[in-house]
Amino acid sequence: MTKQRKKEIVSLSFWRRDPRSVGRFQNIRINIDEEGQGLYTIDKFGKTKEGCYPKEKTEETIDYLFDELKIESRLKDYQAYSYEDSKDNYAISFFLKIEYKDLTYLAIKGTNPANEPHYKDIVSHFEKLMNE
């Protein structure tokens, strides 16, 4: 992904189903402002926390997803569509949606931890963000 396209990202949203109880969720939404800071809202099982990640932390997350994990090149393995973003579908363990300024998006759904590349890496990264 080009550096310019990364700058066009306006938000990242991620939810994960609790492995111990399929009806419980952890969510994080990061809205990226013009300076590149990540204004976040975390909802862990009904407890909400808000704050701001510095520009470096936001860039680190984007670089991790696109440069290290190369999620764009593996979309055939786990690409999703916005209409699939439903917590009512119990086959989905996590859902990641990246939105751009031009109103396009990139979405990834986690359904099979054993066969999807970087399933555990993506979940682990967002778990760390939610626990900071």
Of 67, 12, 7, nearest to 35 by C-alpha is: 7
CATH code for the domain in which residue 119 is found: 3.30.1560
What would the pLDDT profile of 44-57 be if each residue is shown by its tens digit?
A: 988 999 999 999 99
The DSSP call for residue 61 is: H
Q: Give the model's confidence band at 1: pLDDT under 50 very low, under 70 low, under 90 confident, else very high.
A: low
* Run of H or E residues at 35: none
Give me the domain span that covers residue 20. 3-131
Maximal C-alpha separation, the chain: 40
The DSSP call for residue 64 is: I
What would the pLDDT profile of 76-106 be if each residue is shown by its tens digit?
A: 778 899 999 999 998 999 999 999 999 899 9
Number of domains within the chain? 1
pTM of the predicted model, to two decimals? 0.91
